[in-house]
A and B are shown apart, each in its own frame.
Chain A
Amino acid sequence: MIDWEPLILTFKLATITTALLLLIAIPLAYKLAYSTSKLKPFIEALVSMPIVLPPTVIGFYLLVVFSPSSTFGNWLNQSVGLRLIFSFEGLVVASIIYSLPFMVHPIQSGFSNISTSLSEASYVLGKSKIRTLFYVLLPNIKTSILTGIVLSFAHTIGEFGVVLMIGGNIPGKTKVASIAIYDEVESLNYATANTYSLILFAITFSILVIVYLINGGYLKPLNK
């Protein structure tokens, strides 16, 4: 029987990361979609960096910044008692940064594709920006939000380099499925590695199929 802990940890990490990302990405994507600021290209580039950078680079810098021997890491540790190195909390923070573009991009393009006359119509009807966001904009970009949720979730499941750099390999704390697979292969336990891999493969594949089914309009009721 395999040890289920790494898999449970993986899905716990992915769920928490996705939920927090949604809260961060909606205001960020809204700002980016409607901003005309000169800073916008720089922020967009920063958000997209995790797509092009090797995960180890992000992991390395996070390690440097969060390490208790750095000023910031020390301050975090002293003031809030938060240690982000080799801890589950650290993995959540790293995953949020690492999966940020996968949540922000679909939502931002959702906002940009909505005709501006919809929000203008709402403003003319006396509705505030917040009300317009929740009652007009978000309901009409449901598929974009869903795409963002699923991609971030799946992407967090597939994380390896960042986790290895900043989380290490602590069972029950930071040993997620992708690390466990690497571990088992290193110890020549191919059968266990295969079980983990198959489970991850099947789950991520199903998730992506569902997204494409919904976005392709095969599951009509959800597409409204």
Chain B
Amino acid sequence: MIKLNIQKTLTAASGKMNLHVKTTIEKYSLVTLYGKSGAGKTSCLRIIAGLLTPDSGSIEVDGKLWTHIDNNINLPPQKRNIGFVFQDYALFPNMTVAENLRFALNKNQDKKIIHELIEIFELGDLQFKKPETLSGGQKQRVALARSLVQKPSILMLDEPLSALDYEIRHKLQHYILQVHKEYKLTTILISHDISEILRMSDKVIELNQGKVVKQGTPDTVFNYKEFSGNIQLTGIVIAIQKQDFLYILTLQIGKDIVKVVANENEGENLFIGDTVILASQAFNPVIHKIG
């Protein structure tokens, strides 16, 4: 279990912000940090990883103190045994895929893990390639594999999927869930995508202006239970049209565009870019096989 209570003054574009996060993360759970850009998610992750030193507070992992500012304890990232996947993947350009993985090995560590990871992430064909020749999704797989070489107990991912298109994203979500279970990891990831969070996370911590505003299961954080519809989809509002006393909303759900009708009350409170849940109650779907 991770017990986190950290505080740091951050200088952001909008001025100074006080990051204060107090929470606990259960062992073997998958937790998502959620919130607007600039809410302090990445800084929070970097503090847990030891890449950023908090001004005060403590981090306790499985009874061991990683950070305790008052007692001058702050383990360097080298000593925390974590896996970290950076937003820009941070693959070493001078090394091939296999060399990137081998560099991650500990002294005297069995090389078997490299073959195992190459297998899991289907990197066989890519192992002799340099990172610059890989696509975004491939780089992400290599970064994920590399972060697991040392068999960390905690895996952290900084917006691992935001730069990828829908299908690759789906596949990578699957990979993450698979290794999360297989290697008994405690996984902390940053995501903006509510449907992704609902699918993957055990717990969501929502940050706003550096503070925890909500935390709990995705259901409670996103008020998901309020809707007892037979089908529930999350989407983003991409257009709002007013017609007489009705609103026509254009939503992007996954990779599909859907037009739906909303009443005046619903329509007035919506803006382009809002994330919404589309639920239908009296439900009689037509299913048509296309492939």
Interface residues of A (CB under 8 A from B): 115, 117-118, 120-128, 135-136, 139-140, 224
Contact = CB atoms under 8 A, between A and B. Distances in A.
B30 interface: no
Contact of A136 (B82, B87, B92, B130): B92
B88 A127 contact: no
Contacts of B88: 115, 117
A69 B103 CA distance: 55
B69 interface: no
B55 to A, nearest CB: 16
B150 A125 contact: yes
Interface in B124-156: 130, 146-147, 149-150
6 contacts: A117-B87, A117-B90, A118-B90, A121-B86, A121-B146, A224-B130
A118 B92 contact: yes
A224 B131 CA distance: 12
Contact of A121 (B76, B90, B106, B150): B90
Contacts of A120: 51, 77, 84, 86, 90
A128 B77 CA distance: 10
Contact of B103 (A135, A140, A224): A135
A121 B104 CA distance: 9
Given A120-B51, A121-B84, A135-B103, A126 B78 contact: yes
Interface of B is mostly: loop
A120 B50 CA distance: 10
Contacts of B87: 117
Contacts of A121: 84, 86, 90, 92, 146
B94 A224 contact: yes
Interface of B: 49-51, 76-84, 86-88, 90, 92-94, 103-104, 106, 130, 146-147, 149-150
Nearest to A136: B92
Given A124-B51, A125-B103, 12 more contacts: A120-B84, A120-B86, A123-B51, A124-B82, A124-B84, A124-B147, A125-B149, A126-B106, A127-B78, A135-B103, A140-B92, A224-B130
A140 B50 CA distance: 24
Nearest to B81: A126
A117 B77 CA distance: 13
B87 to A, nearest CB: 8
Contact of A124 (B49, B103, B106, B130): B49
A194 B86 CA distance: 59
A95 B93 CA distance: 35
Contacts of A115: 88, 90
B92 A126 contact: no
A140 B86 contact: no
A55 to B, nearest CB: 38
A123 B78 contact: yes
Contacts of B147: 124
A76 B150 CA distance: 52
Contacts of B78: 123-124, 126-128
Contact of A140 (B81, B94, B149): B94
Contacts of A122: 92, 103
Contact of A125 (B94, B130, B146): B146
Contacts of A139: 94
Nearest to B46: A120
A181 to B, nearest CB: 42
A113 to B, nearest CB: 12
Nearest to A125: B104
A126 B152 CA distance: 11
A128 B147 CA distance: 16
Task: Point out which of A121, A136, A139, A224 has the most chain B C-beta atoms below 10 A from its C-beta.
Answer: A121
Nearest to A138: B94
A135 B100 CA distance: 11
A127 B87 CA distance: 20
Contacts of A124: 49-51, 77-78, 80, 82-84, 147
A79 B110 CA distance: 54
A9 to B, nearest CB: 37
A117 B94 CA distance: 15
Task: Point out which of A120, A122, A140 has the most chain B C-beta atoms below 10 A from its C-beta.
Answer: A120
A105 B92 CA distance: 23
B142 to A, nearest CB: 12
Nearest to A142: B94
B182 to A, nearest CB: 20
A117 B143 CA distance: 12
Nearest to A141: B94
